[in-house]
Structure 1
């Protein structure tokens, strides 16, 4: 194992439930999000969209104007969750949100 691999493996990980709760807090508490990329949600159309909320960094895949999945979430103190680590087996924090919560999140993203 290389030094870089060792460093990566010792970083604490967030769970899918942790990330889902962050998303829920954004929705319910109306936390101010800011985009962390040059383009708006509507301009991206089908790509990764980066946002920041109170030190959290989240990456959500925009699929033709709709939320597809959460790609990554990094907490202010370092622990992270990554879609890459769990693979494409349906383990996505957005799936833990109710349909109404997903709709509100999508509206919030469209207004950035």
Structure 2
């Protein structure tokens, strides 16, 4: 996982943050230093999925507590 753009997780304290995971462009929302929701995913082939905050289809809502905490630690290290 690599960040897209020059700003770190901490610099975007309450804003969208984009990462690249093996060619997938994933836009997530940093809400006061906590991972809130996934805004959008774009596959390497260009297929796009948009999500609404709080929807049950939001991939972040499907993570276990351990997965969410692990992902937040990884994002803060970028």
| Superposition TM-score, scaled by structure 2 size | 0.91
Please, which runs of 5 or more residues in structure 2 have no aligned partner? Answer: none
Whole-angstrom distance in 2 between the partners of 1:89 and 1:40: 24
SS of equivalent to 1:78 = coil
Counting strand residues as a fraction of each chain, which structure ranks higher? 2
Map of 1:107 onto structure 2: 73
Counting helix residues as a fraction of each chain, which structure ranks higher? 1
Whole-angstrom distance in 2 between the partners of 1:37 and 1:82: 20
| Superposition TM-score, scaled by structure 1 size | 0.65
Please, which runs of 5 or more residues in structure 1 have no aligned partner? Answer: 1-32
Offset, 1:89: 5.1
Offset, 1:96: 0.6
SS of equivalent to 2:11 = helix
Corresponding pairs, count? 77
Runs of 4+ in structure 1 over 3 Å off: none
Map of 1:18 onto structure 2: none
Query: Which has the greater radius of gyration?
Result: 1
CA contact (8 A) 2:30 2:36 kept: yes
Q: Does 1:90 align with 2:55?
A: yes
